[in-house]
Structure 1
Amino acid sequence: MSQDSALQRDADALVAQGAPGVLVELSTPQGKVKVRSGYGDLERETPMPWDARFRIASFTKTFVAAVVLQLTAEERLSLEDTVDRWLPGLVAGNGNDGRAITVRQLLQHTSGLSDYFADLSELEYEKGFFEHRYDKLGAVSGVKIAMSHRPDFRPGDGWGYSNTNYLLAGLVIEKATGRTWRREVTDRIIRPLGLGDTSTPATSPDIAGPHARGYHRFPAPGTKEPGEPVDVTSMNHAMGGGADGELISSTADGTRFLSALMAGELLQPAQLAEMKKTVPAEGTGAYGLGLAWTPASCGGYWGHDGGIHGFLTGTGVTDDGKRSVLVSVNTVTLTGAGPNPLAGLIERALCGD
């Protein structure tokens, strides 16, 4: 079976599992392959735009981590700096201690800090989502929400995914440079790589340019079963300050970024090596600094997935950067899929001929 036929089969399978629409791009030394399936707009029954832009959610963390590592190469900060070195007194109370947490632990999710986003449970239900989708917390407020909880474990004693870590990473970037993390990501990654579809929308609820509608299946009243797809395209995705998952991008830009990262276009060898130092991470294989390692039939691949109301992003890139793939689905609530619904497609794309 040809590569494009295999990708098309996998994209169609995701639609059969409840995806309104799917867009996939695979970049290889032989060229690019792009397929789509389903609808970008259910009401109009129009396809996913080939050049769609979408919320990449936590894939943003890889961009932010790359900026931090660039700053370490410039000796403007160190991975072993404590959070308190840059943000004195912010991480404190209820057993939280910024003097005991390093920048490395933020990027690797080994800080033990509670995830502030878990407290925003009203977003899980349709009524709460539409009441709060334009809320603006800001990074400091998001961190303070996390500080109302005891840490999940002592720094360095475990691994636990927490968006709070990247709110803090964004604030560290701002303290170290005097500029916003958005400006640093733009000037250090987006512009040099020519990522014309990638943007930092801040608190704007809109997706500029061509895009699919994003859908979410909220639990039906009185049950935990997902209901019918509801259009949730418009929302403030930077609710907590954005460094944990704000960016908007495209399949072309995402694969370009991943390949450039692995090929050493963004980081010096020492910093890329630090990014690839992993710890065991439940549900993701192993986790480095803003980058996950997933075992596969051809050895494994790097990447970082992202999911938020309306959009699910899956990514993968080979260690040498020669093959990269990005999958965009316009819902995060697939009804017939397992816990890692995009993993099979990504593995077959990267490990195929």
Structure 2
Amino acid sequence: MPIPRTLLAIPVSLALLCLSPPASRAGAASTPNTLVPLLVTRGEAPGAALLALDGTGSGSAPGGTEYAQAGADHAPAGTGRASSGADRAQAGTDYAQAGTGISRADHFRAGSITKTFIATVVLQLAAEHRLSLSDTVEQHLPGLVRGAGNDGRALTLRSLLTHTSGLYDFTAVTGGTIPVSPLAAVRIALTHPPADRGRFSYSNTNYVLLGLVIRQVTGRSYATEAERRIIAPLRLTGTSFPGSRTTLPSPHGRAYAADGSDVTDLDPRVAGAAGELVTTLADLDRFYSALLGGGLLPSRWLREMLNTRTAHGSYGMGLFPVRLPCGTTVWGHNGRISGSYVRTAATVDGRHVLTFRVNTSEIADPGLEPALLAAEFCPRTS
């Protein structure tokens, strides 16, 4: 039975895609600032914060031909400048917070929002002709994906990016709480038969494999490549790939599991390339604005990223669309990891971006997320 596009099952742990249902009990007159406190009172989060950027400044690379790239090999002429959102005026910024233990400047774990960073690196490598999306997994990782009916010779990089490989999600076994190496994560997945190949089936294993592909192609880790290609050029000073470091950079608040236990300290190897990222509200707004505004990928490859045809409308490559009741479609991702839930959404041109977070793994009222998106992106009537 096909997975509904507006509601996907999620393992209780890590960062898995959860497209929110369109229905909301928040009311048509709500604004983001009035809804943020509801994430605490109705959503049962200890704390919540939201930062929105609605910029009208210029800065987009003409035709989307420039993208940020620091020291990358085989860079096309004219690249190396972060644009399209990185330098926009902050006049349109709006901020709200509620509850305790959370503030605007905090560093927090972003879970599966990591996937947008990984997909961007892979598409930059494709733009540089260092790999092709039609390459098989076997070409880059020979002999790795075999067993229980899985075969890397039949899987393309495109199928990993779009979650249509059918590979089993290793976090369904680890619960997103057991640190594992990338190879161990893949081995766990390969003890299970695949889902139907070509059908959308969200799996963290796909992006763990893409992290290994990045290392194979560049000779450097996915973290190093993301830092030199995205984080440094965009000056995302609050964003990092912590590796095995269990503590968060300062400043940071506390993070709580659904049972109320403190999970602020966490080994990021529970997620790896599928959800390791640590970041801030401002950095996520800046990143998605730059990405969708054409500042990180040539226009051809940004269109490829936004193409949902392979995943039958559910997912592009590290991004997914949500059509709001007013007809506006926003693009972005969410992330769930122990002690943190984050959601970023943006208009397709990257000029209007919203990121909100709570310092726990779940939002008790699922209607609050779509209500927040509608309140931010749908025109308000008097």
Task: Specify the TM-score bucket, using the shorter chain as the normaliser.
Answer: 0.7 to 0.9
- State which of 135, 142, 151 in structure 2 corresponds to 1:97: 151
1:315/1:346 contact within 8 Å kept: no
User: Post-superposition shift, 1:209?
Assistant: 1.2
User: Post-superposition shift, 1:148?
Assistant: 0.3
Higher relative contact order structure (alpha carbons within 8 Å, sequence separation ≥ 6): 2
Structure 1: give runs of 5+ residues left out of the alignment. Answer: 41-47, 124-132, 219-228
- Which whole-Å CA distance do the structure 2 matches of 1:286 and 1:159 have between them? 7
User: Post-superposition shift, 1:341?
Assistant: 4.1
Within-5 A mapping of 1:1-353? 6-17=31-42, 18-29=44-55, 30-40=91-101, 48-121=102-175, 133=177, 135-154=178-197, 156=198, 158-218=199-259, 229-240=260-271, 242-279=272-309, 286-296=314-324, 297-335=326-364, 337-338=365-366, 341-352=368-379
Secondary structure of the 1:187 match is: helix
Secondary structure of the 1:151 match is: coil
Secondary structure of the 1:238 match is: helix
Question: C-alpha deviations, 1:105-156, integer Å up to 9, x for none?
Answer: 10100000000000014x6xxxxxxxxx5x53110110000000000112x1
In structure 2, give the amino acid aligned to 1:61: K
Secondary structure of the 1:253 match is: helix
Question: C-alpha deviations, 1:184-233, integer Å up to 9, x for none?
Answer: 00000000000000011011111111112111124xxxxxxxxxx11111
- Which whole-Å CA distance do the structure 1 matches of 2:244 and 2:371 have between them? 34
User: Post-superposition shift, 1:281?
Assistant: 6.2
User: Post-superposition shift, 1:239?
Assistant: 2.5
Equivalent pairs, count: 314
Secondary structure of the 2:213 match is: helix
Greater fraction of residues in strand: 1
Question: C-alpha deviations, 1:156-177, integer Å up to 9, x for none?
Answer: 1x10000000000000000000
Question: C-alpha deviations, 1:51-90, integer Å up to 9, x for none?
Answer: 0111000000000000000000000000000000000111
- Which whole-Å CA distance do the structure 2 matches of 1:198 and 1:172 have between them? 22
RMSD: 1.6
User: Post-superposition shift, 1:352?
Assistant: 4.0
Q: Report which stretch shifted further, 182-191 or 298-307.
A: 298-307
In structure 2, give the amino acid aligned to 1:119: V
User: Post-superposition shift, 1:280?
Assistant: 8.0
TM-score (ref. length: structure 1): 0.86
TM-score (ref. length: structure 2): 0.79
- Which whole-Å CA distance do the structure 2 matches of 1:329 and 1:84 have between them? 39
Secondary structure of the 1:215 match is: coil
